[in-house]
Amino acid sequence: MAEPVVIDLLRHGEVAANGWAFRGSTDVPLSTDGRRQMEVVGRRLEDAPLTQVAASPLSRCRSFAARLAGARGVSLKLLDDMREMDFGDWENRSFDELHHSHATLLRRFRQSPAGICPPGGEPFDAFAARVLGSWRDWLAGADGEHRLLVAHGGVIRVLIAHVLDMPPSALWRLHLPYASWSRVSLLVGEQPRLLFLNRETG
C-alpha cells in the first residue's frame, strides 16, 4: 500500500541586500540574520525523518540545504528549475523605483501574475510551468518519504497554489516571510493536503 509523501517547503532566510527589491535571478547570499534564521529552522527540523533534501541552485537556498543534508547524512539534489523567476529589467529594483516607469504592468502583476512578463524577463506562466514540471519529476516514484525543499517565495507560492488548486490571482494572499516553513502531504488517489502554512521559524 502506498504511503503519503510529506514535503517541507522552506523559504530561504533574509538576504544580504539593502532593502526589499525583486531579486529573482540575482544570486545574493544570506545575510548574518538570514543565516541565524536558517539555523533556527535546522534545529526545528531535527525531529523530521528526512530522506532527501532538494534546493534551488542559488546560494541563498543552496548553502543552508547543503549544510543540513551533510549534517543529516541524506542526499542533496539541486533543482535548477526551482530557481526564482527572472524579473529582467525589474531585477534589484523596488516597487517604488518601478512605480513611474512600469506602473500599469506592475499593477497588473500584483493583481494576478498570469500572462505577465516583466520587460526583458521571464513570463510568469513559463516560470510556473517549469516549477511544477520540476516538482512532478522530483516526486516521481516517491513513496512514504519525508523530503525538504529549500526554495524561494515565488516558487513556494506556485507549489502551494497548485496543491490547493488556487488561481494565480490568489498567489499574493499567501504571506511567506523569510525562513517561513510550510508542509504538504501527498498520497496517491487522495487530494493533496496542506498540513501547515507559514510557520515562522526566525
Please tell me the number of Cα atoms within 13 Å of 63 on its side-chain side. Answer: 18
pLDDT for 88 beyond 80? yes
Residue 74: the pLDDT is 97
- pLDDT category at 200 given cuts 50, 70, 90 is low
101-111 pLDDT tens trace: 899 999 999 99
In 3D space, the residue among 164, 154, 94, 165 whose CA is nearest the CA of residue 122 turns out to be 154
- Cα–Cα dist 118/132, whole Å: 20
Q: What are phi and psi of 114, to 5 degrees?
A: -60, 130
Q: What is the CATH architecture assignment of 1-140?
A: 3-Layer(aba) Sandwich (3.40)
Domain ranges of the chain: 1-140
Q: Give CA separation, 57 vs 4, 40, 122, 192, 198, in Å.
A: 27, 21, 18, 26, 22
pTM of the model: 0.96
Q: How far, CA to CA in Å, does 47 sit from each of 36, 42, 43, 140, 178?
A: 19, 10, 9, 25, 22
pLDDT of residue 19: 86
Q: What is the mean pLDDT of the chain?
A: 95
Sign for the CA dihedral angle at 124, 129, 132, 137 comes to: negative
Q: What is the pLDDT of residues 15-68, one digit of tens each?
A: 999 888 999 999 999 999 999 999 999 999 999 999 999 999 999 999 999 999
Question: What is the residue whose three cell numbers read 520540476?
Answer: 134
Position 76, amino acid: L
CA 122 to chain centre: 17
Distance CA 153, CA 9 (A): 10
Question: Residue 96: CB partners within 8 Å, gap ≥ 6?
Answer: none
**Could you tell me the three cell numbers for 22?**
525583486
CA distances from 199 to 45, 70, 196 (A): 12, 24, 7
